[in-house]
Amino acid sequence: MNEHSRATEWDETTELAAVADPSFEDFFEREKAELYSVLCVVTRNRLEAEELTQDAFVRLLERWDRVGKMADPRAYLYRTAMNAFRSGYRRSTRAAKRALRGTQSDDAIAEVDATDAAMRALAILSTRQRAAVIVTDLLGFSSEEAGRILGIRASTVRMHVSRAHAALKDAMADE
């Protein structure tokens, strides 16, 4: 319910610009790989990243008549995915599903951890710190935009990013 109300707020406060209306299908194909891989880094769990990716696109599809006309539907996509990730209820639901399937070690995450210093550096950060640095540095959103996407204040985003930069700097120095 909270997630829905947050999405509604975003709809109402986001300026709708008269840009070309790309089809949802094109948008999905263009964005799915990046969203999935970003969520892999943030969540450090491929199953969760896949679930969040699918769910985020489902929500966009349901509102595509409006979202497709936004100046930046990509921002809405990431906000939706991050909203879903923050939701404790959804996390617990997915955890329950994983428990039903039995615990699986995520070999792909471990493999990247073993070969990528930045991934190891990000692993020691909080999830919110990881998300903040990904949304700002990698996806190129400003602190204000990142704050809207992550549901936190811009100053908090900058604080998280600063902490993440310190960790990444140490990691790159050790490489």
Partner 1 sequence: MSEYRDVLERTRSRFQVPTLALEEVLRRRDRRRRRQRVVAGAVAVAIAAGIAWAGTTAIRGEQQIPIQPGPSLLRTYRLLNVSDGSEAPFPAPEGGSWFRFSPDGSDVIVVKDDADGRPQLFRMGADGSDLTQITPVPEWASQADDPAWSADGRWIAYSGLTPSGHREIIAARPGGYHPPRAGLSWGKLDAGAPSWSPDGSRIAFVGRGGIWILPIEYYNSNDSITAGRQRLILSEGSSPAWSPTGAEIAFTSGQGSGRRLAIANADGSHVRAITDTTSDHPTWSPDGGTIAYDVWSPDGHVAVWLMDPRTGQTRQLLNDASVESWKDDGTLLVSTYPGGS
Beta carbons of 124 and 167 less than 8 angstroms apart: yes
Phi, psi of 16 (to 5 degrees): -90, 120
Of the candidate residues 25, 88, 105, 173, the single one contacting partner 1 (CB under 8 A): 25
- 24 lines the binding site for partner 1 (CB under 8 A): yes
| 9/65 with CB nearer partner 1 | 65
Q: How far is CA 112 from CA 37, 40, 57, in A?
A: 12, 11, 26
Using CA atoms, how far apart are residues 79 and 70, in angstroms rounded to an integer?
14
In the complex, the smallest distance separating the C-beta of residue 171 from partner 1, rounded to whole angstroms, is 8
- The CB-of-33 to partner 1 minimum distance in angstroms stands at 4
- 87 touching partner 1, by CB under 8 A: no
**Burial classification of residue 47, based on how many CB atoms lie within 10 Å of its CB (0-12 exposed, 13-18 middle, 19 or more buried):** middle
**Can you tell me which of 29, 66, 71, 126 binds partner 1, judged by CB under 8 A?**
29
Give strand ranges (E) for the chain. none
- Interacting residues toward partner 1 by CB under 8 A: 23-25, 28-29, 32-34, 36-38, 40-41, 46-47, 49-51, 53-55, 57-58, 61-62, 65, 97, 100-101, 108, 112, 115-116, 118-119, 122, 133-134, 136-138, 140, 165, 168, 172
